[in-house]
Amino acid sequence: MKTRRKRLTYAGIFILLAAFIGCFPTSKNRDPSKWMKVILRDTVNAPINAVWQLSGKVKIEKATADKKYSSMPSIIRTRPLVGDFSKAGHSRVVYFSTGDTLIESIIAIRAPHTFCYELTKPSLPMRLVAYRARGEFDYSSLDSNRTVTVWTYSFLNKNLISKLFINNYINSTHRLWMRDMLKATKERIEADYYSSSDSSTLK
């Protein structure tokens, strides 16, 4: 009984220590190439120009509205903060079902190939282990009617211990959410493109 109690005590101390170290901040001056990354790819059956134009019409709060994720609350709406979220420097607030928020800012946009944004000032629990995150969409033509989408998500973790927490989150939740978002976006783009009477203008 004493041995068991001692083991539980040590385990508790270890967990508390790991949590403390994992949340203890280190330098924010980190090379983006060293951020933790998850990369997914998909092929959309539409020309690259159509994918570029129509992807901006997909509402993130609706794309996965019927899905539930273990470590990520539902997105309920967005609100413009600067601009209309169509140019570099524009930003918006993202609201979650838990009352949490974060800010998304466009940091690079090069039509029709690259769209990059950064997430800052989160109130989500993820703020304890990551300073910020970035998402980048890179589009390339597979042929005249198919476009390859590469979505890279990067996290600036605080230190080595926090890296373990983020890695678990990526594998349990974020990768699945990204896959669902890509699928919903693909379906919406293809439906809009092929139902449009003037789809030729999007080629």
What does the pLDDT average to over 47-68?
94
- Residue-level pLDDT at 18: 53
Which strands make up the sheet holding 130-143, listed edge to edge? 36-44, 146-157, 130-143, 114-120, 101-110, 91-96, 75-82
For a pLDDT cut of 70, what percent of the chain falls above it? 82
pLDDT 10s digits, 155-203? 999 988 899 999 999 999 999 999 999 999 999 999 999 997 555 667 6
Q: What is the CATH number of domain 34-198?
A: 3.30.530.20
What pTM value is reported for the model? Answer: 0.84
Percentage of the chain lying above the pLDDT 90 cut: 73
For residue 135, pLDDT over 90 is answered with: yes
pLDDT in the model for residue 33? 80
What is the pLDDT at residue 15?
Answer: 54
**Which candidate, 54, 47, 51, 99, places its Cα nearest to that of 73?**
99
Helix 2-23 with 160-169: angle, nearest 10 deg? 90
Local structure of 147: helix, strand or coil: strand
Domain ranges of the chain: 34-198
* DSSP assignment of 46-74: S-HHHHHHHHTT--HHHHTTT--BTTBPP
Helix (H) or strand (E) holding 82: strand 75-82
DSSP state of 3: H
Say if residue 3's pLDDT is above 90: no
